[in-house]
Structure 1
Amino acid sequence: MVFKTSGMIIDSGTVITRLPPTAYSAPRDKFREGMSKYPLTNPLDIFDTCYDLSNF
C-alpha cells in the first residue's frame, strides 16, 4: 500500500506537491510518455520533469 498513514496534512498555499516515490513514479512516467517529443533537460533538485522548450 502506497499511502499507509494515520493522518494527512493539506496545505493549500503550497505550490509543490510531494508524493512518496512509489506513488509519484507512475504519473511521472505517463507524463514523460506524453511529452516524449520534447527534449528533457537536466533535473533541478526534485524537479525531474523539466523540458527545454526554447525551440518550440
Structure 2
Amino acid sequence: MQISTLLLKGLLFYFNKQKSSYLLPIKISVIFFRLNAINAIFMIENSELT
C-alpha cells in the first residue's frame, strides 16, 4: 500500500507540473481504478493462500 501511495503522489506531482491537461481527472480516475484492481487481485490471492 505504501508503494502505491508513493506512486500516486509522484504522478499527482507530475500532473501538477503539466497543468495544461483538462483530461487530468480522467487520467487520475483511471490510475485509481487500475490500482484498486491490482490491490483486489493481491487481496484475493492472499486470502486463497491462507
Task: Give yes or no for TM over 0.5.
Answer: no
Q: Which has the higher contact order (CA 8 A, sep 6+)?
A: 2
What TM-score comes out, normalization by structure 1 length? 0.33
What TM-score comes out, normalization by structure 2 length? 0.35
Higher helix share: 2
